[in-house]
Amino acid sequence: MKRVYLEYIILLVLLLIAAAFRFYGLAWDGGYLFHPDERKILLVASELRLPSKALEFFSTDSPLNPKFFAYGSFPIYLLKLLSVFAPTPALAAPWREDFIGMALLGRALSALFDLGTIALTFLLARRLYDATTGLLAAACLALTVLHIQLAHFYAVDTLLTMLVVATMYFAARFAQTRARHDMLAMSVAFGLAMATKVSALPLVVPIVVAVLRRERESGRQGAQEKILLVSPSPRLRNWLNQLWSARATFARILAVALVAFIVSQPYALLDPIRYLGQVGTESLVARGWLDYPYTRQYADTLPYVYPIVQSSVWGMGLPLGIFAWLGSALFVWRWWRAHEWRDGFILSWALVYLLIVGGQYAKHLRYLLPLLPFLFVMAASAFKVHGSRFAVSRFTPHASRLTYYVLRIAYSVILVTTFVYALAFVSIYSREHPWLTISRWMYANIPARATIAIEHWDDVLPVPMRLGEMARAPGDYTLLTLPMYDADDATKLATMVNTLHDAEYIVLATQRLSAPITRLAARYPMSSRYYRALFAGQLGFELVASASTHITLAGIVIVDDRFDGLAPPRVSASDARVWNWGRADESFTVYDHPLPLVFKKTRALSRDELRARLSP
């Protein structure tokens, strides 16, 4: 009993540490709501209203219809329902106070969802393996930078991950206890996960695994149809018979899940054309079958290799990343040899989900969030079991103890380095957002009515803000737009030449366009030449200002190569030790620590000169 108390005390400490990282700096953007997905969810939620008439609820024009299904409706309705608890912040941002308050509430909810994921991961690992495995997996989650970052946004990732782990936990309980309330909890969690994001659909696989386990444990034999008996494989025939005998259980699970789904996302049924159209479009974009600019960053990236490397280096930090992926590989090898049910149950989600998201065209780092808790469970289990068995079976007791202490030291090193990396990462939330910093510089140094060239498919800088008694806005300047993602043709060349000729400044809010376009030189030969010439000072513009909040700790600055061969600006701190960890996924940098650049015209080139430098 004392050991159980100790386990939960340790879990509580881990949750407190995790909460400190996740709740720190929730107003990281000063209330400007720079995350576009979060902003869209907030806008949709703020417009929801109760229908004036009961029958209006069933209309596709109902004020309760979000008409936005790129994500599920459950997180939108949940935020709207809880918005009565939103704070009223005093932030000088160009949004209403109640809207900013709803954003801060959403971010607090996102942090709470992630804490729920940590607790559920511990409970799942404790049930299937032991408390030590659960605590180690929970510790890894508590310190994982990707979880910390996404807990600072109200998107759907942390809620989805919590519901995925909840479904797996109750499915494991149902397989072992066969209790009706566990089946009910599993079904509801699955339905809510589907109403959060359709990428939760592969949860069907572990649910089937859990039900089949229940059937084997209960020893029930279902009716055998003739079609099931013609199978040449006894194992396949037995498996089909188990599926048939569990048909009533499957029906109940699907019925409850469907009710939970419809209650939390009713307009998937009431507005099916819009729902299926938007979900289908998102699916096609993710697989690269529809060409959208915001996914061109993933051109020529290797399936599986890219997300594994990105999550290891940036999402977790290399020590933890190596531990997670190497341990998971050992876990798969162990399952392949022993075929233990509990290992197969974990893999029925982790492996299937990885095969889907790791192989698709769009490989946003956040897509891996529902996988990370299971990577840590697998790694903690694999290294613990493999290390002890290897020592016991092949060495003397002295060598066994040595292996035990080596593993303890390795765990300590991994957790300490991950803790340090997490501290360095959250330092970005202690400083002003770069877009606010660069906007202040622009208003102070660029005269009103100056002509500024900006890029389409990116945020407009400067942002509106109040400086002293004066309200400033982008309208103080003449803004011209560079259509850099348009096809390189004569029309685009003429637009670029005229824009560069007339502009006095060029602003790159992020590297959303410059980095992928430079890599896609075959598709964008003229645009690639433009960026290279701009950075080399060959277009008459010189870099005069930049703003950054790099990941920093104790005089060490961690930067990423987001320029793909272009010469980036130097880190401003001359005495800082700079570590370049290579290219980071765009979605990891552009929301909370982008790198805006301002170029000033120092030498006017004629249109003919500009055309000559951009043309082949």
Question: pLDDT tens digits, residue range 400-420?
Answer: 677 778 888 899 999 999 999
pLDDT above 70 coverage of the chain, percent = 91
Tens digits of per-residue pLDDT, 148-183? 999 999 999 999 999 999 999 999 999 998 899 999
Residue 526: per-residue pLDDT = 96
**557 three-state secondary structure:** strand
Percent of the chain with pLDDT over 90: 79
Contact 417, 366 (CB under 8 A): no
- 13-40 as b/e: b if 16+ CB within 10 A: ebbebbbebbeebbbbbbbbbbbebbbb
Q: Is the dihedral of CA 71, 72, 73, 79 positive or negative?
A: negative
Q: Does position 274 have pLDDT exceeding 80, yes or no?
A: yes
Long-range contacts of 297-303 (CB under 8 A, 24+ apart): 297/512, 297/515, 297/516, 297/585, 297/586, 298/361, 298/362, 298/363, 299/516, 299/519, 299/520, 300/519, 301/363, 303/358, 303/359, 303/360, 303/363
Q: Phi then psi for 600, rounded to 5 degrees?
A: -115, 140
Rounded mean pLDDT, 272-276 = 97
Report pTM: 0.93
pLDDT range class, residue 389, cuts 50, 70, 90:
very low
What is the rounded average pLDDT for all residues in the chain? 91
- Among 18-27, 336-345, 390-399, 576-585, the range scoring the smallest mean pLDDT is 390-399
Nearest to 178 by CA among 217, 208, 209: 217
Answer whether residue 399 shows pLDDT above 80: no
pLDDT for 224 equals 43
Q: What is the structure's pLDDT at 236?
A: 67
Helix (H, G, I), strand (E, B) or coil at 472: strand
CA distance 30 to 90: 10
Question: Which DSSP category does 365 fall into?
Answer: G
Verify cis geometry, omega within 30 degrees of 0, for the bond prior to 462: yes
> Does residue 394 surpass a pLDDT of 70?
no
Q: Is 125 exposed, middle or buried (0-12, 13-18, 19+ CB in 10 A)?
A: buried
- The answer to whether residue 333 scores a pLDDT higher than 90 is yes
Q: What is the mean pLDDT of residues 376-405?
A: 65
Other C-beta atoms closer than 10 Å to the C-beta of 152 total 27
d(CA 447, CA 332): 62
pLDDT digits (tens, 9 = 90+) for 447-458: 999 999 999 999
Q: Which residue has the tokens 């803000």?
A: 465
Whether the per-residue pLDDT at 292 is higher than 50: the answer is: yes
Average pLDDT value for residue range 488-500: 97
Q: Say what the pLDDT of residue 233 is.
A: 65
What is the pLDDT at residue 512?
93
- pLDDT(502) > 50: yes
Question: Is the pLDDT score of 130 beyond 90?
Answer: yes
Q: What is the DSSP string of 112-137?
A: HHHHHHHHHHHHHHHHHT-HHHHHHH
Q: Token pair of 326, please?
A: 């190497």
- The C-alpha angle with vertex 147 and arms to 264 and 141, in degrees rounded to 5, equals 110
Q: What is the largest CA-CA distance in the chain?
A: 85
